[in-house]
Structure formats: structure tokens, C-alpha cells
Amino acid sequence: MLTLLAATVVWAGLAGCRSPGGASAGDAARAINERHVRLFGDAELPRKLGTVENVGLQIPTLSPDGDKLLYLRTDQDYLAPMTLLGSPAPEHTPSEGTLSIWLRPVEGAATGRRLSPQRWAHSPVWSDSGRAIAYVVNEPPTSFIVHLDLDSGQESTLGVPGAINCLPRLDGNDQAVLFCASETVEGPFRVYRQAVGDAEPTPLTPAGSDCLFPALSDGVAGVLCAQVEAGHLNWVKCGPRGIREVAPQWSRSARPDLLQTWAGIASPLSPGRDAVLFYDLVHDRVCVLHVAERIVRRHRRGSIAACWVGNEAVALATSDGVFVVNTTTGVSVPVFNGQWIPSRFVPTTNRLVLLGYETPRRFAVWEVVFRPRADAG
């Protein structure tokens, strides 16, 4: 059952040191926390929007305006996680059966329309504007990336020819896609960038470096991504001058364990493009990488899903409930109890859209609207 919790705030510990100007660092943190509570401490009663199919491989992903969603449909009883890495093995991409991507309004329960004409497609992601998507097509023994302009219906095929291509991410506009490619599903993978119209993709990571989960790039000059090393993952920046470590030794790199990194996070990059959400399997919690500071802040233990609700706050889900957490101070405002997946926050309407249990093969779709107080700024 969905229950709206009272806005009891869990305060982070605050340092009492004084800054050179005489102001307390604790005072500054308290001011941030108070603003956080004014923004997210009150909410309207939740409203159920509809239901959507759940195939168990990937969660549905909402458009930036919160009005549409992409989801998967299949005729298979079970889908293997290694499908997401483009595995051509028969148990991961069976020769019979279909896996397809569908688009529909967020409200209601209609199936909508099928976007992927191919037999086996997955991993749909939105552009920031919502006007384009990218997804993966498996055609064993290889795979490729499809870029689809939703306004014109124009499809473009991207990727490294003859390779396994996977894990796409639109790179800050409607045209360029970051993705990973390898000769085998075991790797090593390289990160590439390719825009619609480019004759071939540009590698952004060194050969043999085994890099995955591209978060953002500097065009063709470099990319922030995860690198596999000695059984764990490192956040690194790769460019022409090599690899620079940003945050070392988090989670596990074994396949398919590493796929949990963004399993419950549809849009990992912050609105300001300066922080990245991810799940750390070893520490069993959602974390935030603050790129410029080269700091990882770990939040509630047992948190497995999250979405951004501003440039400094995330909606975070544990098995006990949903909380809105300030990513710098850690102050936490409880919203719902129960098990939920925060999917998308729409800042123009202060709507948080969540997925919840309906049946073993369906999610319920809910929304809650926050009521910022007049002095919230």
C-alpha cells in the first residue's frame, strides 16, 4: 500500500568548524538543509496514473517532460541480464522470440506503439529534449545502435561494424550517442562517440582499457566513464593523454554484476552535468560522484534506485521507502514507505513519477507533486 509519510527530517551531522570569514561550515550546511526541507517537505496526496508491463530486464524510462514512457515487451518467460551487454549466446539472445521497444503515454494502460521493428531490441534511452532516443539491436553474433528521431521517424544505424555494441547514452544533444563496443561480451570494451551523419564512431578510451558506462564527454576529446580493474570499477576520465583516475575502487566488475550500476537509475547525469548517480554493489547503496571535487558520497544503505530532483538533490528508494536527499549535506526528507522506483522528476510541475508493484509482470505508475513553500527560493 502506498502511504505518504509525515515530513520528518533526518538531519546529517554538521561540522562545527569556522571558515576564515567567521562563518561556520555547519551554518552553511544548515542553510542548505533548511532550503531543502522547504522545497521537498510538503507534498500533495499521490495519484495513480496507470500501469505498464514489466519484463524484468529493464525498468520503463520516462521522457524528460514526464508524459511518455519507453518500455520493453517480449514473448519470452525469462530474459537474461547478459542481453544488455549484447551477448550473442543462445541463452541470452534466443534464435526464437522477440524483444521490442514500445512508446506510450504515461497515463493509462494502453500498449502504445512499437518503435523497434527489429526482432531483438533493448536499452532505450532518451535525449535531454525528449525528441530522440537511442537503443540496441542484437543480431548475433554482433549488434548495433539505432538512433531514432521521434519527430521525423528517421532511423540511423550507429556503432562499430562487426562488433558487440551496447550501453548507449545520448550525449547532451539530440544527435550524438556515447556507447560501448567490444569484439566479445567478455571485453575489453571501449567507449565511442558517434553523431548522426558521422561515417564512423570515434574511440574515446584507449584500446584494452575495458571501459563501460559512459556518463558524459567533451565531444571527441574525452569521456567520463567506468574502468574495469582487478575485480572492481574506477570512475576515470579518458582522453588523448591517457586515463586519469577520478574515483577509485567501487562496486564489482564481474559480469553481469556490473550491470547493476545503472539498473535502477534511468538518467544518471545531474541536470548541471557535474555529478553522476550510480549503485555500488559492494556498499549496497546509491552513490553520487561529484566530478569536479572527485568525491563519491554514499547515501542510504540498501538504496537501489534513484532519480535527480534538482542539481543538488535526488529521490532515493530503499526497501522501506522513498526519500529526497541532498547530495552534499545528506539531509533526508521521507516521502513514501514501501518499495518504489523513483523514475523521473519534472521540475516545471514539481512532479515525481514513481513505479511500484502491481503484479509480477506489471508496474503501477504513480505521481506525487511537491508544494514548495513561498520562501523556498
Instruction: Give the H/E segment covering residue 242.
Output: strand 242-250
Are the C-beta atoms of 134 and 121 separated by less than 8 Å? no
> So what's the architecture of 268-377 in CATH?
6 Propeller (2.120)
CA 271 – CA 282 distance, rounded (Å) = 27
pLDDT digits (tens, 9 = 90+) for 228-282: 999 999 999 998 778 999 999 999 999 999 999 999 999 999 999 999 999 999 9
**Residue ranges of domains in the chain:** 57-263, 268-377
CA 83 – CA 7 distance, rounded (Å) = 41
Residue showing cell 542510504: 300
| pLDDT of 18 strictly over 70 | no
Alpha helices in the chain (DSSP H): 25-40
CA 53 – CA 119 distance, rounded (Å) = 18
Name the residue among 184, 185, 325, 205 with its Cα closest to residue 259. Answer: 185
| pLDDT of 71 strictly over 50 | yes
What band does 21 get if pLDDT is binned at 50, 70 and 90? Answer: very low
Provide CB contacts within 8 A for 2, sequence distance 6+.
46, 336, 338, 356, 366
35 by DSSP, 3-state: which? helix
Cell numbers found for residue 269: 547525469
What band does 342 get if pLDDT is binned at 50, 70 and 90? Answer: very high
| Largest Cα span, the chain | 70
> So what's the architecture of 57-263 in CATH?
6 Propeller (2.120)
pLDDT of the residue at 377: 53
Q: Check for a shared fold between 57-263 and 268-377.
A: yes
For residue 366, list its beta bridge partners. 48, 354
Residue 374 CB neighbours (<10 A)? 6
Mean pLDDT of 63-82: 97
Cell numbers found for residue 204: 574515446
Name the residue among 256, 251, 218, 219 with its Cα closest to residue 235. Answer: 251
| pLDDT of 87 strictly over 70 | yes
